[in-house]
């Protein structure tokens, strides 16, 4: 690709032809998040022992100590494995943009992945992810517990057995497992077969959710790396013009928000897209990309 190609009075930094490299990176790095997130859920399941299940049955909800334990485990996951994955994605994407800028300017611009802007994004994004995962966990488990109580489940052993497979799923997914379980119970499926089938279905949903989380979080970091590298190049005077960005809708069936963002065309780099986002992702599992250019 000739990076110095001009298009409608703009010098192209990245465009649709660079999508392959970003998606290749996201696909390659996804397992680095899917494995840790599934380990997180496994540790959170371990916290639901018989003693804790007795407290759940007695309280008719989630005891604060269990919620605190889940939050602590999520905190360690986010500020450990997740932060490492974010930092790597930001650095890789930022360095790729720096290479593009240097081809244009024939200079040696170096992306700084430790700048305050990046630190602020990681702190904000990490805190939001902890809050979202914790709130989602509470909502899902509370709904399931209420469902089990409605069905007359008072045995801590049975409550624990039915709660454990749901840990880590969304409300919709958790209730789907609950309905699947109820159908099998009504059909008189033996307990050992019931457990095997429920665990298998729940594992399928866990795998899908872990992949969604991985792709979304790595994509978030990658696109933040791109954005902040261009911003740094602008702020340090490495770009002789006004940088612009352009949303590139991706996937087989992009949502209306992403299509509207794409329809906005090239916009100033500091301006948000119609959806309010500065860069992808606009939603979980968003497969959109970004193009950057400099208006001369």
Q: What is the mean pLDDT of residues 76-92?
A: 96
pLDDT in the model for residue 3 = 40
Buried b (16+ CB within 10 A) or exposed e, 147-177: bbeeeebeebeebbbbbbbbbbbbeebbbbb
Whether 219 has a pLDDT exceeding 70, the answer reads yes
Instruction: State how far the Cα of 227 lies from the Cα of 120, in Å rounded to an integer.
Output: 14
| Residue 236, helix vs strand vs coil | coil
Contact of 14 with 291, CB cutoff 8 Å: yes
Q: What is the mean pLDDT of residues 112-116?
A: 91
pLDDT in the model for residue 8 = 61
pLDDT in the model for residue 296 = 74
State the helix-helix crossing angle for 191-235 and 171-186, rounded to 10 degrees.
170
Instruction: State how far the Cα of 1 lies from the Cα of 104, in Å rounded to an integer.
Output: 12
Contact of 144 with 42, CB cutoff 8 Å: no
pLDDT, the chain, mean: 92
pLDDT tens-digit series, residues 26-64 = 999 999 999 999 999 999 999 999 999 999 999 999 999
pLDDT tens-digit series, residues 229-239 = 999 999 999 98
pLDDT in the model for residue 104 = 82
pLDDT in the model for residue 289 = 96
Give, in degrees to the nearest 5, the angle at Cα 225 between 131 and 231.
Answer: 115
Q: Find, among 203, 205, 197, the residue nearest to 181 by Cα.
A: 197
Domain residue ranges in the chain: 6-16+30-223
Query: What single string gives the DSSP state of each residue in 106-139?
Result: -S-----TTSHHHHHHHHHHHHHHHHHHHHHHHH
pLDDT tens-digit series, residues 150-193 = 989 999 999 999 899 999 999 999 989 988 988 998 899 998 89
Q: Which residue has the higher pLDDT, 7 or 249?
A: 249
Q: What is the mean pLDDT of residues 113-118?
A: 91
Q: Is 190 exposed, middle or buried (0-12, 13-18, 19+ CB in 10 A)?
A: exposed
């Amino acid at each position: 690709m000739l990076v110095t190609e001009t298009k409608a009075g703009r010098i192209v930094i990245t465009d649709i032809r660079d999508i392959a490299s970003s998606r290749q990176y996201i696909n390659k790095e996804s397992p680095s998040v899917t494995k840790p997130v599934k380990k997180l859920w496994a540790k959170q399941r371990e916290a639901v022992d018989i003693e804790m299940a007795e407290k759940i049955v007695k309280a008719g909800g989630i005891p604060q100590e269990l919620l605190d334990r889940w939050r602590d485990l999520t905190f360690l996951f986010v500020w450990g494995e997740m932060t490492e994955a974010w930092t790597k994605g930001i650095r890789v994407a930022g360095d790729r943009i720096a290479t593009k800028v240097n081809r244009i300017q024939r200079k040696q611009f170096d992306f700084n992945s430790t700048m305050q802007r990046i630190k602020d994004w990681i702190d904000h994004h990490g805190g939001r992810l902890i809050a979202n995962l914790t709130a989602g966990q509470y909502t899902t488990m509370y709904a399931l517990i209420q469902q089990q109580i409605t069905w007359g489940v008072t045995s801590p052993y049975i409550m624990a057995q039915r709660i454990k497979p749901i840990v880590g799923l969304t409300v919709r997914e958790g209730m789907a497992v609950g309905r699947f379980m109820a159908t099998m119970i009504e059909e008189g499926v033996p307990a050992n077969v019931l457990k095997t089938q429920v665990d298998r279905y729940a594992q399928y949903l866990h795998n899908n959710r872990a992949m969604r989380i991985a792709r979304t979080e790595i994509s978030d970091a990658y696109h933040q790396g791109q954005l902040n590298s261009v911003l740094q190049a602008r702020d340090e005077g490495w770009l002789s013009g006004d940088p612009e960005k352009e949303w590139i809708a991706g996937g087989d069936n992009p949502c209306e928000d992403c299509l509207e963002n794409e329809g906005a065309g090239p916009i100033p780099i500091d301006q948000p897209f119609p959806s309010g986002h500065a860069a992808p992702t606009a939603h979980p599992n968003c497969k959109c990309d970004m193009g950057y250019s400099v208006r001369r």
